[in-house]
Structure 1
Amino acid sequence: MMKRLLACTAALLFTTLITACSPEVGSEAWCNGLQEKPKGDWTANEATDYAKHCVFK
Structure 2
Amino acid sequence: MKTILILLSAVFLLSACSPTVGSEKWCQQLKEKAKGEWTANEAVEFTKSCIIRLSDDKK
Where on the TM-score scale, by shorter chain, does this alignment land: which range? 0.7 to 0.9
Give CA-to-partner distance per residue, 1:1-57, whole Å, 9 cap, x none.
Answer: xxxx22322222111111111111111010000000000001111111111111111
Q: How many residue pairs are counted as aligned between the two chains?
A: 53
Identity %: 47
Cα RMSD between the aligned structures? Answer: 1.1
Specify the SS of the correspondent of 1:7.
Answer: helix
List structure 1 segments (4+ residues) > 3 angstroms apart after TM superposition: none
| Worse overlay, 35-44 or 5-14 | 5-14
Q: Does residue 1:48 correspond to 2:44, yes or no?
A: yes
Distance 1:49 1:28 in 2: 12
Distance 1:28 1:13 in 2: 27
Partner amino acid for 2:45?
A: D
Q: Does residue 1:36 correspond to 2:32, yes or no?
A: yes
After TM superposition, the score normalised by the length of structure 1 is 0.80
